[in-house]
């Protein structure tokens, strides 16, 4: 193939590559641009090539680079390395002609010339790559903090069991002492607030045990309208835009409620003197999937770019100390991503905030229990339970405070109770004695509750088991247990919840 030649007979192939490169290429002589290709003009959003060449290289960098170093000083260091090594590749923040700062990967190549060296500069826009890197870092950070939050929540739930349990016992004991009951009620209120906070930690850390159902998003929103109205107050108008189309999504209704109420709370706080909040539901196609879309918009105080970039980070809050946990939006983000959904926030100072949420449209019929959210479930027929005096219960729990409370509640109702502090001890007792029921913690030192129950089944001991835990992700399933087919008592539980679970298990 014949090579293209310029007027002086020189090979013009480089010029063709130069002009058609997808990367921006610029030539610098004596600290000035002397040439650039079309990609450089487009990358800088310049009017034309002449405008780029009339611009001094220093004008295309912000004052500081991401590492905090001044661009002028760092540029001299980068060029010195290129002159010494022949070429140098590094990342840099540049500025487009419209003022937008964007990241690039720079390759500086030193070319010998009569004046020493010229610089052949190649820029590659890495905005998309940086976005993916930031999303990966954010995901890793959320996962790490989620594990920490889940562990804290589990341990805290163990402490809440005796706090809330003994509060109930004290209420019964002090029923004729109203002056003391007021103090007990205050403890009870604080304990339940702590339990609600732990619930948010559990949801954030993906350790929540609630189960997904196929529900109509519109029906869930309709069921919350009165609650939202009370939450935002009379000085804020809620404008709802719905669709006649059923919007089936696969989520726990409680998770959807938590998302909506958290967003509504944030919108209310952004409107200190009142205003309007818009909530719109629709169905959209994004990529190759169909989604149920929920938009919540307020015309409140808005956020600057830095604040907006941090709103989904756990424990980040703009509220005064003691006024917020910083878990609201991070929990929203966690619940939506757990459901394979997407969330995007847009905001400007003084112009309000908009949240767009996309939840994958579920296939198949709505779950029966959630198809008519406003209709109460029909009462179940009462089961015939055995008398309390002939039931012997083994309590396998490594936390002494929890075990003591459980034993006290059960013995007060006439049950006979034997305690074990870990799974191996419980298994040894089960092999020697006959029990009517086993109440077992899920996580215990040595042998876990599910492991103990599995060993029981292997030696044909079929005593019913009710598991107790502050969280239960896939720990039961790992050991071959269908979580829907075993008794489960979630910590923190009240004495009445404990007794109900025991009666239910004994009557099955």
pLDDT tens profile 443-477 = 888 888 888 888 888 899 989 999 988 754 445 55
Copy the structure tokens of residue 216: 């109509």
What confidence tier does 4 reach under pLDDT thresholds 50, 70, 90?
very low
Tokens 């703009």, residue located: 318
Question: Is 262 in a helix, a strand, or coil?
Answer: helix
What distance in Å separates the CA atoms of residue 30 and residue 51, rounded to the nearest whole number? 18
What distance in Å separates the CA atoms of residue 104 and residue 75, rounded to the nearest whole number? 14
State the span(s) of the chain assigned CATH 3.30.450.20: 15-125
State the span(s) of the chain assigned CATH 3.30.565.10: 213-371
| Backbone angle region of 369, left / alpha / beta, with phi > 0 → left and psi within -120 to 50 → alpha | alpha
In this predicted model, what pLDDT tens digit does every residue of 352-388 receive, in sequence order? 999 999 999 988 788 754 433 333 333 333 334 444 5
Q: Where are the beta strands (DSSP E) in 242-307?
A: 248-251, 275-286, 289-298
What distance in Å separates the CA atoms of residue 133 and residue 140, rounded to the nearest whole number? 11
Section 107-114 average pLDDT: 89
pTM above 0.85, yes or no: no
What distance in Å separates the CA atoms of residue 508 and residue 500, rounded to the nearest whole number? 12
Residue 122, burial from CB neighbour count under 10 angstroms (0-12, 13-18, 19+): buried
Return the pLDDT at 341.
92
Contacts of 495 (CB under 8 A, 6+ apart): 165, 168, 169, 405, 409
What distance in Å separates the CA atoms of residue 220 and residue 374, rounded to the nearest whole number? 9
State the span(s) of the chain assigned CATH 1.10.287: 130-204
What confidence tier does 280 reach under pLDDT thresholds 50, 70, 90?
very high
What distance in Å separates the CA atoms of residue 298 and residue 307, rounded to the nearest whole number? 17
Taking 3-state DSSP, the helix, strand and coil percentages for the chain, each rounded to the nearest 5, stand at: 45, 25, 30
What is the CA 241 to chain-centroid distance, rounded?
27
Phi, psi of 66 (to 5 degrees): -55, -25
- Classified by CATH at the fold level, domain 130-204 comes out as Helix Hairpins (1.10.287)
- Classified by CATH at the fold level, domain 388-507 comes out as Rossmann fold (3.40.50)
Q: 213-371 in CATH: which number?
A: 3.30.565.10
In this predicted model, what pLDDT tens digit does every residue of 17-49 receive, in sequence order? 888 899 999 999 988 999 999 999 999 999 999
- Classified by CATH at the fold level, domain 15-125 comes out as Beta-Lactamase (3.30.450)
What confidence tier does 485 reach under pLDDT thresholds 50, 70, 90?
low
In this predicted model, what pLDDT tens digit does every residue of 57-78 receive, in sequence order? 999 999 999 888 999 999 999 9
Nearest in space to 224 (alpha carbons), one of 266, 261, 268, 265: 261
């Amino acid at each position: 193939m014949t090579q293209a030649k310029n007027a002086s007979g020189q090979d013009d192939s480089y010029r063709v590559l130069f002009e058609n490169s997808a990367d921006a290429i610029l030539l610098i002589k004596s600290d000035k641009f002397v040439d650039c290709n079309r990609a450089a003009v487009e990358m800088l959003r310049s009017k034309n090539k002449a405008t780029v060449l009339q611009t001094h290289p220093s004008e295309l960098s912000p004052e500081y680079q991401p590492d905090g170093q001044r661009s002028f000083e760092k540029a001299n260091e980068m060029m010195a390395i290129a002159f010494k090594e022949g070429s140098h590749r590094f990342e840099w923040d540049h500025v487009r002609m419209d003022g937008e700062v964007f990241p690039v990967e720079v390759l500086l190549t030193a070319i010998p010339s009569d004046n020493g060296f010229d610089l052949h500069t190649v820029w590659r826009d890495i905005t998309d790559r940086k976005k993916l890197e930031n999303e990966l870092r954010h995901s890793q950070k959320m996962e790490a903090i989620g594990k920490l939050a889940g562990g804290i929540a589990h341990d805290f739930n163990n402490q809440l069991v005796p706090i809330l349990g003994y509060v109930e016992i004290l209420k019964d004991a002090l029923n004729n002492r109203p002056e003391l009951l007021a103090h007990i009620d205050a403890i009870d209120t604080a304990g339940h607030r702590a339990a609600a906070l732990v619930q948010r930690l559990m949801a954030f850390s993906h350790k929540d045990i609630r189960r997904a159902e196929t529900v109509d998003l519109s029906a869930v929103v309709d069921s919350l309208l009165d609650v939202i109205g009370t939450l935002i107050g009379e000085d804020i108008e809620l404008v709802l835009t719905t669709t006649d189309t059923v919007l089936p999504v696969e989520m726990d209704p409680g998770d959807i409620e938590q998302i909506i109420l958290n967003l509504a709370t944030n919108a209310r706080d952004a409107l200190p003197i009142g205003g309007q909040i818009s909530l719109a539901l629709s169905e959209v196609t994004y990529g190759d999937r169909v989604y149920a879309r929920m938009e919540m918009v307020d015309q409140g105080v808005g956020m600057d770019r830095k604040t907006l970039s941090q709103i989904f980070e756990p424990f980040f809050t703009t509220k005064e100390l003691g006024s917020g946990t910083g878990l609201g939006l991070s929990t929203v983000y966690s619940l939506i991503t757990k459901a394979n959904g997407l969330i995007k926030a847009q905001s400007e100072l003084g112009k309000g905030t908009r949240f767009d949420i996309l939840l994958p449209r579920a296939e198949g019929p709505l779950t029966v229990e959630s198809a008519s959210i406003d209709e109460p479930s029909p009462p179940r027929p009462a089961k015939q339970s055995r008398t309390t005096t002939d039931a012997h219960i083994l309590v396998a729990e490594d936390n002494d405070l929890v075990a003591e409370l459980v034993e006290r509640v059960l013995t007060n109702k006439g049950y006979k109770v034997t305690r074990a502090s870990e799974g191996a001890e419980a298994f040894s007792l089960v092999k020697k004695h006959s029990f009517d029921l086993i109440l077992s913690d899920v996580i215990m030192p040595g042998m876990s509750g599910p492991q103990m129950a599995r060993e029981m089944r292997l030696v044909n001991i079929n005593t019913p088991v009710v598991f107790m835990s502050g969280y239960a992700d896939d720990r039961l399933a790992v050991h071959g247990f269908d979580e829907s087919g075993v008794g489960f008592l979630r910590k923190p539980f009240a004495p009445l919840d404990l007794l109900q679970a025991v009666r239910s298990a004994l009557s099955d």
